[in-house]
Amino acid sequence: MVQMTEQAREQVNKLIERDGRDGLYLRLGVKGGGCSGFLYVLDFETEKGERDELVSFGDIRVLLDPKSNILLEDVTLHWHDGLDGSGWKWTNPNAAGSCGCGESFAV
């Protein structure tokens, strides 16, 4: 199952609050592309799809489509905020390789 660090959960909660829409889900997933084969996806949605798996981290409701659920097994989503910049970081122990910027991976 995908995991989220405490810092990532705090950032997601800030973004949900800033968005202002009720009932938001966080969509985590993958799509084909990038220099290594798959790109990570992070977005907000208002509706759960019929085939989506729902995972909760406290009051954060995360949606995973079936393909992404398999490819994100044991992956951890991090939020980094420091002097050298801020942003999302994915730790994927199942990746056979990844690009230099960490935006895409291969299996």
What SS3 class is residue 3?
A: strand
Find out whether 25 and 62 touch, Cβ atoms under 8 Å.
Answer: yes
What are the tens digits of pLDDT across the range 3-22?
Answer: 999 999 999 999 999 999 99
The CATH number of the domain covering residues in 3-106: 2.60.300.12
Q: Distance (Å, rounded) from C-alpha 85 to C-alpha 80?
A: 8
Total-model pTM? 0.85
> Stretch 35-45: mean pLDDT, rounded?
85
Extents of the domains making up the chain? 3-106
